[in-house]
Amino acid sequence: MKLTKKQATLHNEAEVLLKKERLTEDDKYFIMEHWHEAATNVNSIAGAFFTPLQLAMDFANCCIPEGAKVIDLCAGIGKLAFFAHHFKKCSVTCVELNPDYVRVGRKILPEAEWLNASITDGAILELSDFDIAISNPPFGLIKTASNKTCKRYTGSEFEFITMDIASQVAQLGTFIVPQKSTPFKFSQNTHYERVKPVAKLDKFLKETGFEMEINACIDTACYLNDWNGVSPLCEVIEIDFRGK
């Protein structure tokens, strides 16, 4: 997507801040708000759309256990991880394929362990013993994606690939995914409602045996206008991987 003049100006201001040896908290918030994922990358191809800042805050406050050992898959610049660390005192490992995003993430969250790698790289499976995996993964079919490291799932929808991989390194998983990739409606609905899974979701649930549950009742419709270039209606879901 092409940035507006205002977006480009704010992105450039964020880049200036990134040159500082040490960032203030205000600097970090400005960068998370205004460093644009499409400024130097064709983010639509990789399905990389950063989590709105307020959604990332609410996600951490409502969905992440205090003091947990966390792995953030497809971390982007680390917004979810940032608030997991600062709001919930979690130790955090971030896995992100895009080196430009990792460069920024290491500046705003130097406390995390950053791995510049694809989550589908088999090496990630050497990581383990995380209390919880978190992710706002790319949605749908991603050209650069592979399910080669999936244990159960044989399809190609990247949010489901992410969940399968998460199950191999963490006890729990909490994810921001499209509403149609869940068996319920809550966001932009008058109440919590179970629905019949669409075919791609039914395939995933049958192959993995996972049970998706709503997490913390976050209505993501509140943030529809806060994404960059897209307005996805999402749900925040939790999966207990223990015993699976």
With DSSP H G I counted as helix, E B as strand and the rest as coil, what are the percentages for the chain, rounded to 5? 40, 20, 45
pLDDT class of 46 with cuts at 50, 70, 90: very low
Question: Does the pLDDT at position 135 exceed 90?
Answer: yes
Residue given tokens 């191809």 in the structure block: 45
93 versus 7: the higher-pLDDT residue is 93
Q: What is the number of domains present in the chain?
A: 2
Please give the average per-residue pLDDT across 162-167, as a whole number.
97
pLDDT of residue 43: 45
Burial (0-12, 13-18, 19+ Cβ within 10 Å), 134: buried
Do 185 and 99 sit in the same domain of this protein? Answer: yes
pLDDT of residue 38: 76
pLDDT class of 2 with cuts at 50, 70, 90: confident
Half-sphere exposure of 164 (CA within 13 A, CB side): 26
pTM assigned to the model: 0.93
- The pair of three-digit structure tokens given for residue 30, joined into one six-digit string: 């400005």
pLDDT of residue 172: 98
Instruction: Give the CATH number of the domain where residue 143 resides.
Output: 3.40.50.150
pLDDT of residue 1: 64
pLDDT of residue 227: 87
Measured distance CA(74)–CA(48) in Å, rounded: 9
175 versus 122: the higher-pLDDT residue is 175
Do 33 and 54 sit in the same domain of this protein? Answer: no
Measured distance CA(210)–CA(46) in Å, rounded: 26
Do 27 and 82 sit in the same domain of this protein? Answer: no
Do 16 and 85 sit in the same domain of this protein? Answer: no
Do 18 and 59 sit in the same domain of this protein? Answer: no
Do 33 and 123 sit in the same domain of this protein? Answer: no
Provide, rounded to the nearest whole percent, the portion of the chain with pLDDT above 90. 78
**Following DSSP, what letter does each residue of 95-151 receive, concatenated?**
EES-HHHHHHHHHH-TTSEEEES-TTSGGGGG---EEEEEE-PPPSB-TT---TT-S
pLDDT class of 57 with cuts at 50, 70, 90: very high
Question: Does the pLDDT at position 42 exceed 80?
Answer: no
Do 85 and 24 sit in the same domain of this protein? Answer: no
Do 153 and 197 sit in the same domain of this protein? Answer: yes
Residues 6+ apart with CB under 8 A from 113: 92, 93, 94
Segments forming the whole domain that contains residue 228: 46-240
Read off the pLDDT of residues 10-33 as tens digits, 9 standing for 90 and up: 999 999 999 999 999 999 999 999
Do 129 and 181 sit in the same domain of this protein? Answer: yes
pLDDT of residue 168: 96
Please give the average per-residue pLDDT across 144-155, as a whole number.
86
